[in-house]
Structure 1
Amino acid sequence: MANGGGDSHLSRGLLRPDAAVAERCALIEAEKATYPIAWMCRQLGVPRSSLYAWRNRTETPTQARRRELAVEVRRIFDDSRQTSGCRRVAAQLNREGHECSVGLVADLMRELGLRAVQPRAYKRTTLPGEQPEDSPDLIGRDFTAAAPGQRLVGDITYLATDQGWLYLATVIDLATRMVVGWQIADHMRTGLVTDALAMAAEAGHTRPGVIFHSDRGAQYTSAEFRQYCKGKSIRTSVGRTGVCWDNAAAESFFAALKNEMYHRQKFTTKAKARFAVAEYIEVFYNRQRLHSTLGYRTPHEALTEFETAAPAA
């Protein structure tokens, strides 16, 4: 629970310094389930009598709708782990039957002081091999697919813990943006990426002739990896060296994982980091997080729709 310190975030930036009493009262009303009313009145300089008078005023239908919608905005924002901006919050509201515009949600979030976690710059981690096997770019920055199991992308990133580094390899389906394969290890040998790809294949997320696209990291251009893919009827594809846009879909996932989860906490052990990554991928990212590239659906919803439509096709 918040304390009575004058440095409270309620008094530091949720409202403009010249905010009207009505705006301050609205904030108190919206936050009454989170903070003590008396404490908020002190922090925002609102007499209790003014709050009661504001509550008893005649409320217009528009004001009532904004007040009710503000509660839903707060709920959805919290459910998203403070990661959703106004567009994703508005999309979820409309999914639930609360018709609203992005502009209205942006106004309410501003009044409530709700700010989604801000993205950090993403730093590339994979390094090209000394003698990489030649492979064409079969994606050409077209990160779409007609159906699941046809076009996949993958990459590797570093994860810091107090016990040392971990390395995460992922496989993402471009039709659903679902992370269909992943592996964490304390090494960056080729086995890391083949294990991630094997997870996708064993779960039925690959079709014969599927394209797997990556950067020119040594693991992805090694003879061992090429041999594995050949044995599984997987066609390899790589982007140009040092050109991040050639594998943007894979790197976008790592930016989301680190921005929305990893950089927001400290991991004292590798075990805690492994669990957090697994929970983020399988629970939040694949099944709860709305994706703008999917028309504000979750990857699991997109996959389900493909699977449902397939028998009828």
Structure 2
Amino acid sequence: MRRKNDNPDDPYHQELLEAVRDIAKASDNIYGSRRMKKALNALSYLISGNKSRKLMKEAGVQVKYRKKYKVTTDSNHKKPLFENVLDRQFDMNGPDQGYVSDITYLWTHVVIDLYSRKVVGWSIGSRMKAQLVCDALTMAIWQRLPAAGLIVHSDRGSQYASKSYRRLLKAHGFMGSMSCKGNCWDNAVAESFFGSLKSE
């Protein structure tokens, strides 16, 4: 359990503020004080909702109230799913051991190497079809030549459960991995990338 201290000059208080900023960035600033409190509690910072509001204000975090946009993750399907092999193990010992991927509402798909945090494959299309994710992964394969055993993580979207995508993974000996249902933190690196992209 983390200790409580309301002194603004205390190192622990500064640690709290930094945690608030990190969570806000990872969520693309859509977390209000309630969800911020839950996220901090999950990290063992046991604070109240009122404290969460004060910290967000002090950290300069402003909540974005998003306009409606096209949903990019169609997880309401009956296609086969991969287990969450990655399980939030975002730190790799070397390049091309683990990739994460995601699609934005602008129909841009990226593949990111977890070791370097660099985009190693990408594709843009007018529709969110399986070809979009296959093209980005194929680019990563051409550029990086990853060995068999590579973990490729994504959300539970139908594109990642398609036959063509699964065949591509199998052909190269890669392990598919998918986030748990409704949990953006399982794909936090890719989510954070698009959050930064939208704010620029």
Could you state the TM-score of these two structures normalised by the residue count of structure 2?
A: 0.64
Q: Is the 8 A contact 2:72 2:128 kept in 1?
A: no
Q: What is the CA–CA distance in structure 2 between the aligned matches of 1:120 and 1:245, rounded to whole Å?
A: 18
- 1:158 pairs, out of 96, 105, 112, with 105
Query: Aligned match of 2:165 in 212, 225, 240?
Result: 225
Per-residue deviation, 1:259: 0.6
Q: Give a deviation string over 1:244-303, Cα, whole Å, max 9, x none.
A: 11111111100010111xxxxxxxxxxxxxxxxxxxxxxxxxxxxxxxxxxxxxxxxxxx
Whether the 8 Å CA contact 1:193–1:219 is kept in 2: the answer is yes
Are the structure 2 counterparts of residues 234 and 253 from structure 1 closer, same or farther at C-alpha, using a change threshold of 3 Å? same
Q: Give how far 1:207 is off.
A: 2.1
Q: Identity across aligned pairs (percent)?
A: 42
2:186 paired with 1:246: yes
Residue matched to 1:200: 140
Match of 2:78 among 131, 135, 148: 131
How many residues of Structure 1 are paired with residues of Structure 2 in the alignment? 138
Aligned to 2:195, the other structure's residue is in SS state: helix
- Runs of 4+, deviation exceeding 6 Å: 121-124
User: Which protein is richer in helix relative to its size?
Assistant: 1
Residues 259/137 of structure 1: CA separation in 2 closer, same or farther (3 Å cut): same
Q: How does 1:150-189 map to 2 (within 5 A)?
A: 150-159=97-106, 167-189=107-129
For structure 2, list consecutive stretches of 5 or more residues without a partner in the other structure: 1-59
TM-score (normalizing by structure 1): 0.41
What secondary structure sits across from 1:200 in the alignment?
helix
Shift in Å, 1:138: 1.0
2-structure distance, mates of 1:253, 1:205: 23
Instruction: Please tell me whether the aligned partners of residues 81 and 156 of structure 2 are also in contact (alpha carbons under 8 angstroms).
Output: no
The amino acid of 2:105's aligned partner reads Y
| Offset from partner CA, 1:35-91 (integer Å, 9 cap, x none) | xxxxxxxxxxxxxxxxxxxxxxxxxxxxxxxxxxxxxxxxxxxxxxxxxxxxxxxxx
Gaps of 5+ in 1: 1-115, 160-166, 261-313
TM-aligned CA deviation for residue 195 of structure 1:
0.3
Q: Could you tell me how far 1:134 is from its partner in structure 2?
A: 2.7
- 2:56 corresponds in structure 1 to none
Q: Which has the larger radius of gyration?
A: 1
Higher relative contact order (CA 8 A, sep 6+): 2
1:215 equivalent in alignment to 2:155: yes
Look up the equivalent residue of 2:74 and give its one-letter code. Answer: L
- Equivalent residue, structure 2, for 1:62: none
